[in-house]
Amino acid sequence: MPLPSPFPEGWFFVASRKELMKARLIEKTWMGENIVAWIDDDGEVCVSRAYCPHLGADLRPSVGGTVCEGRLVCPFHGYEFDTSGQCVKTPYAPAPKTAKLGVFPTHEIAGLIFAWWGIDGREPQWPLPEESPDQTDWTGLKIRTIRFPGHPQETTENSVDLAHLRYVHGYDNVKRVGRFTVDGHVLVSDFDFRSVRKLGRFGFLTFDISALTRIYGLGYSYVKIRERSVGIDMRLWILATPVDGTLIDFSIVSQVKEMRKPKRWLPGLAFLPTRFRAPLMNSFTSLQQLHDVRQDLVIWANKEYRSRPRLCRSDGEVMPFRYYCAQFYPDTGDSVTPVRAARNGAQTMETVEAG
Ligand code: FES
Ligand SMILES: [Fe+2]
């Protein structure tokens, strides 16, 4: 049974502001399209299709696209575009008003840049959260991206499939203690669990976790994590972004709140100055998440999609999740391309952005 389109409608991660500041102009295959993203001197960001409205040249930096004084410059005849996508200059004539790039609407949360991908190019149908969470006393973001054959619906289903947390990840006491609700494009899934982890040479540690998950479509999941026995606050963004219809970029973004007075001391942590504790914990969290994703990956890369799963009583929310997902595949007629992720021996690729 094929999965729905590999490109559900929604907001999908493009890059961090930090990455854009460093590179100025980047290129990607994103939602089946070649895109460029760049930032101007005022910090305005533009995400657009990588083709010039003049005579169609490819604007990606690998084939000659550049950014000059904050404007994207086409390598073919030198048209220049500002971050609204408008052509504002050419080398030999007044800029034609109709020359405009195929810009995607963007939204930024905590320095993460998302762009809206709509069916047949339609406008955003719903927003991401307006507010960025307060960054005072929090570490920077650590971003790990792993690329593999997959589908964002399958990876997001993990947040409601509580049964797999025990069998795949070895968590104990997995309980839904809070809400499971669906309100339009927002799905809330709150649960508790206990995790026993190895902390390098310091032995085994037990963490009692409360996870508050907020899902805004299939490209944006945000998890507020409270570790109750030590008193650690963490934030996690799980961002699944379709690349080309088969591969997805799966980004794990994490940050940890400063730990001034832990309820109990983790081995080794007490000897560290306060300012090093949260970053160390963030590195640990990020690696643990990657470890968990690798465990899921084996399952994801080899499974079949069941549109009518034979569930048992305690599988609870898998079908409500599927009904929630249906809104991201509005009737698309011929443009729906069923996809099967490549099976067996999935190739993976990893990149890390320091927090
Ligand atoms: S094709 Fe881009 S300026 Fe001519
Ligand atoms: Fe999982």
Residue 4 falls in which region: left (phi positive, over 0), alpha (psi -120 to 50) or beta: beta
Residue recorded with tokens 């169609």:
56
Q: Are 30 and 152 part of one and the same domain?
A: no
- Tokens read off for 351: 């990149």
- Protein residues within 5 Å, CB atom, of ion ligand 2: 158, 296
**Is residue 23 exposed (0-12), middle (13-18) or buried (19+ Cβ within 10 Å)?**
middle
135 located within any domain:
no
Give the Å distance between the CA of 59 and the centre of ligand 2: 38
In the beta sheet, which residues pair with residue 255?
235
Domain boundary among 84, 118, 152: 118
DSSP string, 75-125: TTT--EE-TTSBEEE-SSSPPPTT-B--EEPEEEETTEEEEEE-GGGPPPS
Tell me the percentage of the chain whose pLDDT exceeds 70.
Answer: 92
Determine the average pLDDT of the residues in 265-289: 80
Say which ligand is closest to the CA of 167: 2
Lowest-confidence region among 217-226, 268-277, 280-289, 318-327: 268-277
Give the Å distance between the CA of 228 and the centre of ligand 2: 21
Mean pLDDT over the full length of the chain: 90
Q: Are 282 and 229 part of one and the same domain?
A: yes
Pocket test for ligand 1, best of 48, 49, 51, 54 (most atoms within 8 A of CB): 54
Q: What is the pTM of this model?
A: 0.92
Give the Å distance between the CA of 59 and the centre of ligand 1: 9
| Amino acid symbol at 65 | G
70 located within any domain:
yes
52 lines ligand 1 (CB under 6 A): yes
| CATH number of the domain where residue 75 is located | 2.102.10.10
Pocket test for ligand 1, best of 52, 59, 81 (most atoms within 8 A of CB): 52
| pLDDT (0 to 100) of residue 332 | 55
Determine the average pLDDT of the residues in 296-304: 91
| CATH number of the domain where residue 334 is located | 3.90.380.10
127 located within any domain:
no
Overall size of the chain counted in residues: 355
143 lines ligand 1 (CB under 6 A): no
**pLDDT above 80 for 345:** no
Q: Are 175 and 207 part of one and the same domain?
A: yes
**pLDDT above 70 for 298:** yes
63 lines ligand 1 (CB under 6 A): no
Determine the average pLDDT of the residues in 91-120: 97
Q: Give 139-177 pLDDT, tens digit per residue.
A: 999 999 999 999 999 999 999 999 999 999 999 999 988
DSSP string, 144-169: EEEEEE--HHHHHGGGT-THHHHHTT
Residue recorded with tokens 């609700």:
181
**Is residue 314 exposed (0-12), middle (13-18) or buried (19+ Cβ within 10 Å)?**
exposed
Q: Are 111 and 155 part of one and the same domain?
A: no
Give the Å distance between the CA of 71 and the centre of ligand 1: 14
Q: Are 78 and 151 part of one and the same domain?
A: no
| pLDDT (0 to 100) of residue 2 | 67
Tell me the percentage of the chain whose pLDDT exceeds 90.
Answer: 70
Q: Which domain holds residue 40?
A: 10-118
In the beta sheet, which residues pair with residue 58?
51
Q: How many domains does the chain have?
A: 2
Dihedral of the CA atoms 217, 223, 224, 230 (nearest 10)? 170
Lowest-confidence region among 26-30, 36-40, 93-97, 340-344: 340-344
Alpha carbons 192 and 212: distance in angstroms, whole number? 9
